[in-house]
Amino acid sequence: MELDGIVMKQPVATNESTINALDYLANLDFVKIRQKVDIAELITPWEVQNRYEVCDANDRVFITVTEESATCQRVFCTASQRSLVLHIQDISGQELAQIKKDFKCCAGGSVCAKADCCAMEMFVERPVGQPIAHVRQMFYCCFPKFHVFDGYGKQVFEMTGPCCPCQGPGCYDDLEYPLSNSGGSDSGAKVTKIWDGAGRACCTNANTFGIHFPANMDVQKKLSLFGAVFVLDYFMFESNDNE
């Protein structure tokens, strides 16, 4: 039988590519940011552009992060020094936000953190060109300290870490970086450097982080904590084999 003039609506398959990544993030209270292991970095002494996957508690990947940086800076500069752009995309390749880091001549020293030319910091933009947050290393003596600011330069979080951020043989515990509100009260959020096992830790520079936050936290603040993760990774846990 012919059905003239009738257009049948086709069912739309629900799969990974149909996720609205930011809507999905808005309802989560935990994400894992996992750096991908690059074979080229294992067999050569040169640093490659980092790639990350962002997944939920069930390891469902819904966001990818890709570094864009110059080869010469990856070869001759430390991870904390080099300038870069991190492209935050959904799994279909649509760009959701960017995280940018300027070149710093002496990034890494806590004593020099008061100087703009040395302090480690990253800027989160959504959309591109519109800052919504930035994360800055602060001066500290023993315990690493970072401030998270909103797009207007107002401090919203303070993140502190352990005096000895070591993981390896005999040090298998996750490292926790709790976040307090600007007034000093607990924000309910924290960043965790997750222990991935001796093989991954000894043979690669690939790191894994977890972010815990209240499910009802504004999605822009959740994105700002992505910036906090990458400040930690490039400042404290990335190392160049060619250094």
Say what the pTM is: 0.86
pLDDT of the residue at 140: 77
d(CA 32, CA 37): 15
Domain 20-237, CATH number (from 2.60.120.10, 3.40.50.360, 3.30.450.40, 2.40.160.200)? 2.40.160.200
Report pLDDT digits (tens) over 176-208.
Answer: 999 999 889 999 999 999 987 665 555 666 899
Structure tokens at 65: 């992060």
Report pLDDT digits (tens) over 112-124.
Answer: 676 777 888 999 9
Q: Are 208 and 194 in contact (CB under 8 A)?
A: yes
Buried-state track 118-140, b at ≥16 Cβ within 10 A, e below 16: bbbbbbbbbeeeeebbbbbbbee
- Which whole number is the average pLDDT over 232-239? 85
Q: How many CB atoms lie within 10 A of CB 235?
A: 22
Extents of the domains making up the chain: 20-237
